Amino acid sequence: MTPPDGLAAPTAPAPSSAAPLTVESPLRQSPPRGVIATLKKHTKIVRVSLSERMTYRSDFLLGTILRFLPLVTTILLWKSIYESSGASELAGFRYREMIAYLLLTHISRMFSSMPGLAAGIARDIREGTLKRYLIQPVDMIGYLLSYRLAHKIAYITMSFLPYMALFVLCRGYFDGFPDALTMAAYAVSLVLSFLVGFFFEASVGMVGFWFLEVTSLLYIVMTLNFFISGHMLPLDLLPWPWFTILTALPFQYMAYFPAVVFLRKVTGWELVSHLLLELTWVIVFVALCRGLYRLGLKRYSAYGG
């Protein structure tokens, strides 16, 4: 699995409590009314979080460089596979396209991966520190989304030059840049992959309301997600039933789909329909995350802290 692209969300100190705090309503603390007030609040969260994240810019840079090292063995592995098979194409991918695909999935995962998000939510629930969101006029999910946005901005900013150098060195694997419309669709797919990744992992973290220890569950879910998202290899290489099933699920939008958009393997109406479907999955996960949060708060008791 790829190393984390940054540090997990910080745990703010919470006031100690000898007796459990029972939350009777998920609407106890409502965010400030008005769209402008909410935007100002979350803009400040992004600004403060970005300043904090940039403190660790050397960690981002080192993590990016270390992430590239497995690519050397990956390139050699696929070269051996193509040479031993004697085929010029595998599932519609030439050797150069395969390497380009694997490079592009690193960009996809840069946007969609959320290291420590689900585990952090489950830990806050278990240790009782979740109550700091309940006694302050801030929505937990909105805060975490703003924090992750700042994290991604910092990470992408610090890793831009290393990634540019890598793609310059590997430019021979690409057939040039796509046209402007395809690049726009690629950018949209990356933004949506960030939202899919965030709300999916946040939804997984909400399971902590019902289970005290979820470490094993999180490991299984994240390991499966790493494979079925298409990060390890194109989903086209899988047998027909599995390819059909996995491309109907939302996980392909975290790695596979943005990469094939850039490679122009999805075009026209098919591209538009997939972007709309990706947006639909964002809405589904937002509703799921919010629903689990509200249900969980009804049974939440803030022990410890």
Q: What is the pLDDT of residues 158-215, one digit of tens each?
A: 888 888 888 888 888 998 889 999 999 999 999 999 999 999 999 999 999 999 888 8
Question: What contacts 24+ positions apart, CB below 8 Å, involve 295-299?
Answer: 295/209, 296/125, 296/206, 296/208, 296/209, 296/210, 297/23, 297/25, 297/26, 297/134, 297/209, 298/23, 298/24, 298/25, 298/26, 299/209, 299/210
Please, what is the average pLDDT of the chain?
84
CA distance 48 to 161: 24
Q: How confident is the model at residue 237 (pLDDT cuts 50, 70, 90)?
A: very high
Under 8 Å between Cβ of 275 and 188: yes
d(CA 235, CA 243): 6
Q: Is 51 a residue whose pLDDT tops 80?
A: no
User: How many other CB atoms sit within 10 Å of the CB of residue 2?
Assistant: 16
Q: Is 180 left (phi over 0), alpha (psi -120 to 50) or beta?
A: alpha
- CA 101 remoteness from chain centre: 18
